[in-house]
Structure 1
Amino acid sequence: MTSLWLAAMLIVVMGRNFTGLEELPNKCLHGKFQKKTSGPEELYLQCSPWQNRSCCTYKTTEQIHNGDIYNFNFNHCPDLMSAQCKSRFVQDLCFYECSPNIAPWIVKDTRTWRKERFYNVPLCASDCEAWFNDCAADFTCTDNWSKNFDWSNGSECTDGECFRNSCPKESKCMTFLEIYGNASNFCETVWDNSWKYTSDSEPCMRLWFNGTDGNPNDAVALKYAHLVASAPNHSHNMWLTSMLVFWILLSAF
């Protein structure tokens, strides 16, 4: 199963180019708030595990906790989001803004406020299940939060360049359990396939961790970095990459 998963990941990234493994531990998304390269930062509350090597600043993490970042309204339904559910989304935003371990999954994005996003990052099933369980009884009105909200109405942001999200017309507020059905669908759909539900027995990312014990996501990123960095740089041709995928698939049987 691991071999099949690695082969699929290689197919996704076979067209990407990296200068080498040395760039992977410090690669940050090209977004609105991320730094150009990771480094030590004093970070706020739940974002603190990334403080030794972070792609975000203290100000960004403070905005995450205060609900100011991107002017995104988590309380888009009449029932306010529970504290435990909001805490999980804060952890998710901390990962998105602060993690230096996402280089193997970076793809280009055409939104005005960012040039890149991450796609199909393997999220450990236990982390996804815990996130979904804490939000299952909370309410939302759409499944894909990246695409489906109406941003044309509501109060303008302080810089006058964006609007606050609101529920699409004809949508209905229902529980997360009713909207998504299960944890896998929730984690993979809510941010438009940023996450990939992945068994804990496979290499997978932790949404949150105890920073005093190091960053467990370093090893996961490095495992994929060997695939991403070596295949394109050593071959630069489709034939060798295809042979590598074939070998991985063959070894799975």
Structure 2
Amino acid sequence: MGVGQMLLVLLAASLVVSTRDPLLNVCMDAKHHKTKPGPEGKLYEQCSPWKDNACCTANTTAEAHRDQSYLYSFNWNHCGVMPPKCKRHFIQDTCLYECSPNLGPWIDQVDSSWRRERILHVPLCKEDCEEWWEDCKDFVTCKENWHKGWNWATGTNRCPWGAMCRPFKEVFPHPKDLCEKIWSHSYSYTTLQRGSGRCIQMWFDPAQGNPNVVVAKYYAWKRRTSPAGVDNLTPEVDKARRPLPCSGMVLLVPLVLVVTFGRSWSLSGTSP
């Protein structure tokens, strides 16, 4: 291999590395997230599926399992004790939010005192949303949107004055209402099923690998190839608003030029 060809190979390899998709394998800029994902020796109970590559620490996952933790001083039991079968979904929701490095296509910029980024319109698999609703439908709450509007006078969330505690199935008549409204549209309800490669799973068996890796790659690819159609990536969802970096296109031009000239050098017997 001539010097010119060697340089071409090295340049092409460096360009591939430099064009790594910034929507993949990333952590949010938020209150308890690590700056970069990486392996953790051990994550607590329901958060353990992310231990090989996580945006959270072990301490964060332990706190996620407490009824009222230092993470956000949020009280699940604001209208009575939340049943364990319901609470496990909220714990899993917290684990996904804090630990997953596969939410990049749905990260959105926010102006908040405690975080600079959030997730928006993550396409949640049908089973995850419907099981969440089924296990919580008889629990009671006083609010539809748990992100805001609480009474924080005591340092933890309490129902606002005059708000009545009602069963989930009245506050959220359908699974779609629960998944989309409770966290200000962080999730979108879909009819897509687990294993489809097109929806994010809150629950998965780590022995089978993390299915959300493929899902994130799919939506990152869709954003690159259909920037004008970002709102229609699936029949149901993906209204992510994060701007698409153009670095890949910028780097593609010099690569084409180098390959072209490299071919000319090779034909003329001249090395650069």
Q: Does the aligned pair in 2 maintain the 1:49–1:209 contact within 8 Å?
A: yes
TM-superposed deviation, 1:64: 0.3
**Which of 141, 155, 167 lines up with 1:175 in the alignment?**
167
Aligned to 2:45: 45
Name the structure 2 match of 1:35.
Answer: 34
Aligned mates of 1:183, 1:168 — CA distance in 2: 24
Gaps of 5+ in 2: 1-17, 236-272
Partner Cα distance (2:231, 2:87) in 1: 40
CA contact (8 A) 1:144 1:192 kept: yes
The 1-side partners of 2:117 and 2:211 are apart by 24
Q: Which moved more, 1:22-31 or 1:92-101?
A: 22-31
Which runs of structure 1 show a deviation greater than 3 angstroms over 4 or more consecutive aligned residues?
A: 19-25, 229-232
Distance 2:137 2:55 in 1: 30
* Residue correspondence of structure 1 range 233-248 to structure 2 within 5 A: 241=228
1:65-84 CA distances to partner (integer Å, 9 max, x unpaired)?
A: 1231211000011x210011
Structure 1 unpaired stretches of 5+: 1-18, 155-162, 233-240
Residue number in structure 1 paired with 2:74 = 72
Q: Give the TM-score normalised by structure 2.
A: 0.73
Q: For the residues of structure 2 that align with 1:189 and 1:75, how far apart are their CA atoms? A: 19
RMSD of Structure 2 on Structure 1 (CA)? 2.1
The corresponding residue for 1:62 is 62
Q: Percent identity?
A: 41
Matched, 1:217 2:216: no
Q: Deviations over 1:118-139 (max 9, x none)?
A: 0000001111000011100101
- The match for 1:9 is none
3-state DSSP of counterpart to 1:145: coil
Q: TM-score, normalised by structure 1?
A: 0.78
Q: Which structure's relative contact order is higher, taking Cα pairs within 8 Å and 6+ residues apart?
A: 1
Q: Distance in 1 between matches of 2:34 and 2:223?
A: 23
Displacement of 1:23: 3.3
Do residues 81 (structure 1) and 82 (structure 2) align?
A: yes
Counterpart position of 2:144: 143
Number of residue pairs matched?
A: 211
Who is 1:12 aligned against? Answer: none
- Highest Rg: 1 or 2? 2
Say if 1:55 and 1:97, in contact at 8 Å, map to a contact too.
Answer: yes
Q: Aligned letter for 1:172?
A: M
Alpha-carbon distance in 2 for matches of 1:80, 1:245: 39
| Alpha carbons 2:102, 2:216 under 8 Å: kept | yes
- The answer to whether residue 25 in structure 2 is matched with residue 26 in structure 1 is yes
Matched to 2:180, the amino acid is E
Residue 84 of structure 1 contacts residue 134 of structure 1 at CA under 8 Å; is this kept in 2?
yes
Residues 196-226 of structure 1: CA deviation (Å, up to 9, x unaligned)? 0011256111111111111011111100111
1:44-77 CA distances to partner (integer Å, 9 max, x unpaired)? 1000001111000000000101231211000011
Aligned partners of 2:24 and 2:105 also within 8 Å: no
Q: Distance in 1 between matches of 2:25 and 2:76?
A: 30
